[in-house]
Amino acid sequence: MTTEAQAVPAPPAPTRRTALARRITDGLEPKNVILVLLPLLGGLRYGWSGIGWALFAALFAAVVPTLIIGHGMRKGTVADRHVGRRQRRLTLFPLIMGSVLLSFAVMIGLDAPADLTALVLAMFASLVPILVITVWWKVSVHTAVATGAVVCLAIALGPLWLLLGALVPLIGWSRVVLRDHTAAQTAVGAAVGALAAGLTFWAAR
């Protein structure tokens, strides 16, 4: 049987190609995408009040998950900020999902703007199939979040926002170059993000 340690490939030798891939992976990681997505949608749809609600949602959808991962890194149970080991994802994802769900509950209770509330629900909904798949296979959260963000922006603000989808293959490429995922894992992540987040956002807004 393959152990979890054996299942994680050795990182590639540092080259210009891997350095570029690292910058893309780190710059367009899920946390950063969420921190841009929420205020962007909130501001364009609802003005300053939307930005305020977006920052509240970002606290639970991006900042708290980052703190959870950072705590694991300090304890030595998580090796890196992208949580490369599949088994560690299984323990962290439920905590992150709980944080997102708490944000959604508060936003529903306080009558937050509809599109922002729907977006937070879409984030939670996309994590459900990701968690299930991760039991057996390390699907890409990077591509799932990026694709979900693009689809939700297009639904809320118009189809021109689909042009941002050009970033998704670039993100997938970076994950493959760094040996964090296979091409199939990045493709499935993108499909899950588009379907789960997109359909949930469309239905809930």
pLDDT band at 133 (very low <50, low <70, confident <90, very high): very high
Give Cβ neighbours of residue 20 (< 8 Å, ≥ 6 apart). Answer: 174
Enter the tokens of residue 183.
């091409």
d(CA 164, CA 187): 16
Enter the tokens of residue 72.
């694991």
20 to each of 24, 26, 27, 43, 92, how far by Cα in Å? 6, 10, 10, 31, 28
Q: What is the pLDDT of residues 140-167, one digit of tens each?
A: 999 999 999 999 999 999 999 999 999 9
- Domain segments of the chain as ranges: 14-204
d(CA 56, CA 74): 26
Question: Residue 89 in contact with residue 127, Cβ under 8 Å?
Answer: no
The whole-number average pLDDT for the span 87-96 is 96
Question: Residue 151 in contact with residue 194, Cβ under 8 Å?
Answer: yes
Question: Residue 144 in contact with residue 192, Cβ under 8 Å?
Answer: yes
DSSP 124: H
Q: What's the length of the chain? A: 205
pLDDT above 90 covers what percent of the chain?
Answer: 93
Its pTM stands at: 0.92
d(CA 173, CA 177): 6
